[in-house]
Amino acid sequence: MNIVILGAGQAAASLAAKLRALGHDGGIAVIGDEPAPPYQRPPLSKAYLLGQMGLDRLTLRAPDWWADQRIALHLGERATRIDRDRRMVVTDRGEHPYDQLALTLGAAPRRLPAAMGGDLPGVHVVRNLADIAGLRPALVAGRRLVVIGGGYIGLEAAAVARKLGLEVTLVEAAPRILGRVAAPETADMIRALHRAHGVEIVEGTGIARITGDVAADGVELADGRRLPADLVICGIGIAPETALAEAAGLAIDNGIATDALGRSSDPAIWAAGDCASFPAAGGRLRLESVGNAIDMAEAVAANMLGANAAYVPKPWFWSDQFDAKLQIAGLNLGYDRVVTRPAANGGSVWYFRGGYLIAVDALNDARAYMIGKRLIEGGRSPSPEAVAEAADLKALMA
């Protein structure tokens, strides 16, 4: 059986490795449009951007590993079409036949439209090596940066720029930062962290446009104010890469729609990672995280080989900002109550739905994160009162 993996990121590397580990002896080809072999994305906007990590540490596998595993890497090759009738991936360099195809296409950063100045020189996004290569030379101490977007991408970029000595203003159109992903209590801790490091945060204010004739020179806000800028970073989220799948006639629903096994609407085509949505309680779910990319890819690899086991996510996330680490376990969707616990230089926020623990945010509190994660993954829930009153969190495990 010949397996082609389209997309060459974390999910692709995990899927290919799992196929071999499970005994698949047929062909495996990985096709990616970037020239670099599969690499980690999270350090791009942190350690790699700061110059604390080289490309050798960013890559997921040593070059000879791919050859040893007999996995063909087709890098710098752009797929143009999926021919389902012929079971063929068509690229700008040729054709790749498949018996089964896995789509691990990831996601692309959302950009402001050209009419708002989104394509001016000096406007950056942070998603791949090329983005960082363009951004890094512009991060010069004393320059003025405006970050558009108060989610994790924007906040991490703001933290790196401040560490490099830039003057940073972050603008969030919603009433507060982290509005879609975290409780106000978590946002309060992160806002305080950034302000303590000199980041100016503007919330509840939209963007009218990025100004500049030949390059970005400022950001005009919806209320008429203008923020001067030497460069702008857009951190307004990512969108799943679905164009190839859509053109091939696959079902799309907040990403490439899969069943519980990770199979698309074509029985020979699978999907995993940021580009894929799967059934979950209350509807479809698409998770943008390293943990999901690895876990779903490994589940899909097993199912491609006949395991027939539903993918059950165990969500976990993290974000490094300044010298602080935010760790998240579970999903806080539909929470109706939070309990906060202070800790040195941070604290934890515990999310409940109907009295049941569903998620934990922990800032500089690894103990709260680990205990919360074990409780959630074990399907155990202390009461909100128990979490609030516990002198020692370990007692919640009893």
Q: Write the pLDDT tens digit of every residue in 96-108.
A: 999 999 999 999 9
The mean pLDDT of the chain is: 97
Query: If you average pLDDT over residues 292-307, what whole number do you get?
Result: 98
Q: What is the DSSP letter of 7?
A: -
Residue of higher predicted confidence among 138 and 50: 138
Q: Are residues 97 and 144 in the same domain?
A: no
What does pTM read for this prediction? 0.95
Residue of higher predicted confidence among 185 and 42: 185
Interaxial angle between packed helices 290-304 and 10-21, expressed in degrees from 0 to 180 and rounded to the nearest 10: 40
- Structural domain count, the chain: 3
Q: What is the pLDDT of residue 152?
A: 95
Q: What is the CATH number of the domain that holds 159?
A: 3.50.50.60
Q: Are residues 329 and 347 in the same domain?
A: yes
Is the model's pLDDT at 389 over the cut of 90? yes
Task: Out of 253, 275, 304, pick the residue that ends a domain.
Answer: 304
Percent of the residues in the chain that have a pLDDT greater than 90, as a whole number: 95
Q: What is the pLDDT of residue 143?
A: 98
Q: Are residues 164 and 55 in the same domain?
A: no
Q: What is the CATH number of the domain that holds 378?
A: 3.30.390.30
Bridge partners (DSSP) listed for residue 353: 356
Is the model's pLDDT at 46 over the cut of 90? no
CB 357 within 8 A of CB 376: yes
Q: Write the pLDDT tens digit of every residue in 199-213.
A: 999 999 999 999 999
Q: Write the pLDDT tens digit of every residue in 228-250.
A: 999 999 999 999 999 999 999 99
CB 171 within 8 A of CB 148: yes
Query: If you average pLDDT over residues 152-168, what whole number do you get?
Result: 97
Does residue 101 lie within any of the structural domains? Answer: yes
Q: What is the pLDDT of residue 272?
A: 98
Is the model's pLDDT at 147 over the cut of 90? yes
Q: What is the pLDDT of residue 51?
A: 87
Is the model's pLDDT at 120 over the cut of 90? yes
Q: Are residues 154 and 103 in the same domain?
A: no
Q: Are residues 222 and 252 in the same domain?
A: no
Alpha helices (H) in 104-181, listed in sequence order: 129-135, 152-163
Does residue 33 lie within any of the structural domains? Answer: yes
Nearest Cα neighbor of 311 from 325, 301, 296 is 296
Q: In 10 A of CB 101, how many CB atoms? A: 25
Does residue 359 lie within any of the structural domains? Answer: yes
Q: Are residues 161 and 255 in the same domain?
A: no
The C-alpha atoms of residue 381 and residue 376 are separated, in whole angstroms, by: 7
Q: Are residues 197 and 229 in the same domain?
A: yes
Q: What is the pLDDT of residue 282?
A: 78
Q: What is the pLDDT of residue 275?
A: 98
Does residue 229 lie within any of the structural domains? Answer: yes
Does residue 150 lie within any of the structural domains? Answer: yes
